[in-house]
Amino acid sequence: MTQIMSFNTTHEIWESLRCSFTFGSRARIMELCLHLHTIRKGGLSMLDYMLRIRNNCDNLTAVREIVLEQDHIMEILGGLGHEHNPFVVTIISRPEPISIEELQSHLMVF
């Protein structure tokens, strides 16, 4: 509150608040993006792994950061271990795109 007391116009107040919240939002977006890029399946069950990525994508969407379906799919594939390499090659070699739902279904079976 003391931050805005020194301003004389509502425009100055709104501009100050916009800058403050934009910085915080930008930092949060960067934090969520970094977390998304570093999620690895490791010892997680496939369901837990997929849920972590989905939650992170949902959090990004909540702060108005668009996560394209293709990017979501690449994050899923990128975090799988080497034991999934044959599966990953099959998916990225497909001539037609795969949906997240179809990918999840295949991964749960794999």
Render pLDDT for 19-67 as a digit per residue (tens, 0 to 9).
665 555 778 889 999 999 999 999 999 999 999 999 999 988 888 889 9
Per-residue model confidence (pLDDT) at position 38: 96
Q: Give the residue, 6 or 41, on which the prediction is more confident.
A: 41
Give yes or no for residue 2 having a pLDDT over 60. Answer: no
Burial of 29 (C-beta count, 10 Å sphere; 0-12/13-18/19+): middle
CA 107 to chain centroid, in Å, comes to 19
Cα(101)–Cα(95) distance, integer angstroms:
18
Cα(65)–Cα(50) distance, integer angstroms:
19
pTM across the whole model: 0.74
Provide the Cα torsion 49, 97, 93, 82; round to 10°.
0
Cα(93)–Cα(53) distance, integer angstroms:
22
